Structure 1
Amino acid sequence: MSVFKFKEFEVAQDRCAQKIGTDGVLLGAWASADKNPYNILDIGTGTGVISLMLAQRFPSSQIEAVELDEDAFEQAASNFENSPWSDRMFCFHASFQEFFEEVDDTYDLIISNPPFFESSSIKENQEIDKNREQARFDEALPFEELIYGAYKLLDDDGIFACVIPHDREAHFLKIAAHYKLIPSRITHVKGTEGIAVKRSLIELRFRESDMKPTQLTIEISRHNYTEDYIELVKDFYLKM
């Protein structure tokens, strides 16, 4: 079995198309730095790693996750059950669209590492594993539906946090603005100095903000991590 070991929990990932990566760990460590959320929703939880990180960070939180893929859902549910926080974690097997149409609750923090790329970018002659395609391309959950669902379920003073490709940030924020969701915090992430920004970590709220984006660089050189990155993830990675 493929198991990723963190300091306080383990994550089995052999049944998930999308394995644990830097994006999810960054988001789980970065989100909600100035607020202690109680009700948390993780959209498209995959292995469940972000939910588990939030359970570690916020000891009083109640965490719900939703996952469409059956194998990933079963794996996330098992990872929750085998964690130290199993009594306050639950995973639903459903699409997010089904979930937000049926649920009446609101959440203090909604978080998502959504599908990465536009489905229209897939070339017709590419042969891509179907589960991995669903996990990485946005046909199953376009930004429009992700943001609309977050708008419906977010508490008036809640936070919606996500990580997206930097080159889609303007498009994402334009959709969010339609639903009166305003960026209150943005961090641009690059692998090393001297290369282009790759990811945007974004928090949205229902209130005006005069925030200015910050920047995070992960490495100085191969496996030589910056102090900012180490400070962010040191409570999770074994070797930090």
Structure 2
Amino acid sequence: MGFTFKEFHINQSHTAMKVGTDGVLLGAWAEGGNKILDIGTGTGLIALMMAQRYPHSIIDAIDIDKGALKDATSNVANSPFSERINIIQSSLQSFRLQTDNEKQSLLYDAIVSNPPFFINSLKNKVQNRSFSRHTDTLSFSDLCRHASRLLKDNGTFSIIIPFENRGIVESEAIMSGLSISYVINIKTKESKDIKRCLIMFKKQLRSTYNVVKETLLNSKGERSEWYSHLTKDFYIK
């Protein structure tokens, strides 16, 4: 069963990782540019959202899972953005630009990723779901190091992660030459603990950065004003 947004439809019959709030949040929030890289594209959701938000962008979307790539290829082909999104089967570690000389003009203005996040936890019995959710195939260290390698000096790297992983990711990012630019700590409801973090990194060294807190649902269990405004161009209702 798929998921229909205002300007495109997501078929997710071949991938274990379905459309979720994390991907929607990142795709609706991350900064873009003329050249964008989506790491671990899955169904292609975030790549399609970035293509909708940035109409002059060219997007490379990479993944290693064959089922996800099948869905992403189909979803992109059936979208209004098919000429601007390239679906590529590749791990981030082995992904290279078209030239060995990774010049600034060939690097990415923006990189986005909804990365695997389970560390030292039990594997799911469904193998492709396990690959998508565990850091075995893409550690936070590799994610930050290669994002820094592929990012322009003035570019942005945006991710969404569980709150409990924030310290690990920020440490790895700093070691990779990235600097925190903006953080949104997200709760489901005001009474709940923080569950997710949207984090934006840049290469320029920063001594301070903005941290804000948002909630997904209001006291009535409806989408909060922030969440509704952020996703208004995507959700049909």
When the two structures are superposed, what TM-score results if normalisation uses the length of structure 2?
0.93
Alignment correspondent of 2:2? 3
Is 2:80 the counterpart of 1:84?
yes
Alignment correspondent of 2:213? 215
Alignment correspondent of 1:106? 107
Between 1:208-217 and 1:4-13, the stretch displaced more is: 208-217
Deviation at 1:100, TM superposition (A): 4.1
Deviation at 1:102, TM superposition (A): 7.2
Alignment correspondent of 1:16? 15
Q: Call closer, same or farther: CA 1:127–1:45 in 2, change over 3 Å.
A: closer
SS at match of 1:192: coil
SS at match of 2:52: helix
d(CA) in 1 for partners of 2:71 and 2:83? Answer: 17
Deviation at 1:208, TM superposition (A): 2.8
Q: Call closer, same or farther: CA 1:26–1:109 in 2, change over 3 Å.
A: same
Aligned length: 231
Is 2:171 the counterpart of 1:174?
yes
Q: Call closer, same or farther: CA 1:222–1:113 in 2, change over 3 Å.
A: farther
Q: Which amino acid aligns with 1:82?
A: N
d(CA) in 2 for partners of 1:168 and 1:100? Answer: 27
Alignment correspondent of 1:228? 226
When the two structures are superposed, what TM-score results if normalisation uses the length of structure 1?
0.92
SS at match of 2:118: coil
Between 1:167-176 and 1:216-225, the stretch displaced more is: 216-225
Counterpart contact for 1:100–1:149, Cα < 8 Å: no
d(CA) in 2 for partners of 1:156 and 1:181? Answer: 10
Q: 2:33 aligned to 37, 46, 60, which one?
A: 37
d(CA) in 2 for partners of 1:199 and 1:102? Answer: 35
Counterpart contact for 2:124–2:130, Cα < 8 Å: no
Is 2:45 the counterpart of 1:73?
no
Structure 2: stretches of 5+ with no match in the other structure: none
Structure 1: stretches of 5+ with no match in the other structure: none
Deviation at 1:212, TM superposition (A): 2.2
Q: 2:52 aligned to 30, 53, 56, which one?
A: 56
Counterpart contact for 1:116–1:136, Cα < 8 Å: yes
d(CA) in 2 for partners of 1:127 and 1:168? Answer: 19
SS at match of 2:130: helix
Alignment correspondent of 1:159? 156
d(CA) in 1 for partners of 2:191 and 2:205? Answer: 33
Alignment correspondent of 1:150? 147
Between 1:207-216 and 1:62-71, the stretch displaced more is: 207-216
d(CA) in 1 for partners of 2:149 and 2:160? Answer: 20
Deviation at 1:75, TM superposition (A): 1.1
